[in-house]
Amino acid sequence: MTSIDLSDRRILVTGGAGFLGRQVISQLQLAGADAEKITTVRSQQFDLRVMENCQQVVRDCDIVIHLAAHVGGIGLNQAKPAELFYDNLMMGAQLIHAAHEAGVQKFVCVGTICAYPKFTPVPFREEDLWNGYPEETNAPYGVAKKALLVQLQSYRQQYSFNGIYLLPVNLYGPEDNFNPQSSHVIPALIRKVYEAQMRGEKQIPVWGDGSPTREFLYSTDAALGIVMATQSYNESEAVNLGTGYEISIKDLVELICELMDYRGEIIWETDKPNGQPRRCLDTQKALDKFGFKAQVGFKEGLKNTIEWYRQHA
């Protein structure tokens, strides 16, 4: 497979100051990119829902890696579905169009596992992406992000614009978002257990009944996959990024409690939503197309994440 030489490329990373963005920038530099030619944008400086800002940030860029997103767990998806749909659709659609008009050589769009149908056969294969509607609690976010795949494919067809689309599974790792109002399941659980320990509480509440399954990808692995695809993947079809390892929420909670040495009782709040019943990816295409395979074992990644939170809580 031919690989882009990143050393002389001017690269824009939207969301570059975020949890995943910092790791992507690190992996870009390890792959030979010049730190002085990597640009990041923050939402405080450039609101990418405004077309003029998109046009400004892509000017003179060779590669755009679009990570910026308005994203959160089930609670945020239920509270702000309209914002999540509008913000993610407008940021992505305008940035893609501006990049095409500016003559950007390659656009890397990082999508979401929430784009898959609610009842997708496990493991999720990229070919199943359109075989149903996403799980209701995160459908607005998932549909908005999935529309960007259609945009990239149509721009490739009409304008020969080289845009690729990646589907990372749920991410976790040090520096994740631990805000209880918007965090995903792993940081939310780590914080919940930590605070229960600090207060001496003998039980913790957890949403749902524990039956759904999830797959998780360590942030450095996700960044490595994104950079490998940036270098070597140039096709229109979406590609999964994951590990292929599936764990139930019940087993996840028990593992976090074990690693944090918490012996309290788990109270399952069965009146709260479970989210999608199962999530586990077929990761063969990423291996075949650009040689990506996750490096960090799940238990090791969890230990690193717990340790980071304990140091920074």
Whole-angstrom Cα distance, residue 226 to residue 184? 21
Whole-angstrom Cα distance, residue 138 to residue 78? 8
pLDDT of 143-187, one tens digit each? 999 999 999 999 999 999 999 999 999 999 999 989 988 788 999
pLDDT of 255-308, one tens digit each? 999 999 999 999 999 999 888 888 899 999 999 999 999 999 999 999 999 999
pLDDT at 83: 96
Whole-angstrom Cα distance, residue 97 to residue 161? 10
Tell me the average pLDDT of the chain. Answer: 95
Sequence-distant (6+) residues with CB within 8 A of 220 are: 23, 26, 27, 173, 295, 296
C-beta separation of 260 from 227 below 8 A: no
Determine the longest span between alpha carbons in the chain, in angstroms.
61
pLDDT at 144: 97
137 closest CA partner among 273, 21, 279: 273
pLDDT at 275: 82
Q: Has residue 64 got a pLDDT over 90?
A: yes
Q: Has residue 78 got a pLDDT over 90?
A: no
pLDDT at 74: 76
pLDDT at 128: 97
Prediction pTM value: 0.94
What mean pLDDT do residues 203-210 have?
A: 94
pLDDT band of 54, cuts 50, 70, 90: very high
Whole-angstrom Cα distance, residue 86 to residue 73? 17
DSSP string, 158-181: HH---EEEEEE-EEE-TT----TT
User: Which segment of 8-22, 27-41, 120-134, 271-285 scores lowest on mean pLDDT?
Assistant: 271-285
35 vs 45, residue with greater confidence: 35
pLDDT band of 235, cuts 50, 70, 90: very high
pLDDT at 63: 98
SS3 24: helix
213-214 vs 247-248, strand pairing mode = antiparallel
Rounded to the nearest 10 degrees, the angle between the axes of helix 81-102 and helix 139-159 is 20
Question: What is the C-alpha R_g of the chain?
Answer: 19
Whole-angstrom Cα distance, residue 128 to residue 124? 7
Q: Cα(first)–Cα(last) distance of the chain, in Å?
A: 44
Q: Has residue 1 got a pLDDT over 80?
A: no
In single-letter form, the type of residue at position 44 comes to Q
Residue 269 exposed, middle or buried by CB count within 10 Å (0-12, 13-18, 19+): exposed
Residue with tokens 């944090």: 260
C-beta separation of 252 from 213 below 8 A: no
Residue of 116, 141, 172, 262 marked active site: 141
pLDDT at 188: 93
Per the annotation, the verdict on 141 as an active-site residue is yes
User: Considering the domain 11-174+215-245+279-296 in this protein, what is its CATH number?
Assistant: 3.40.50.720
SS3 100: helix
What are the extents of the domains in the chain? 11-174+215-245+279-296
Ranges of H-type helices in the chain: 19-30, 51-58, 74-79, 81-102, 139-159, 185-199, 219-232, 249-259, 284-290, 298-312
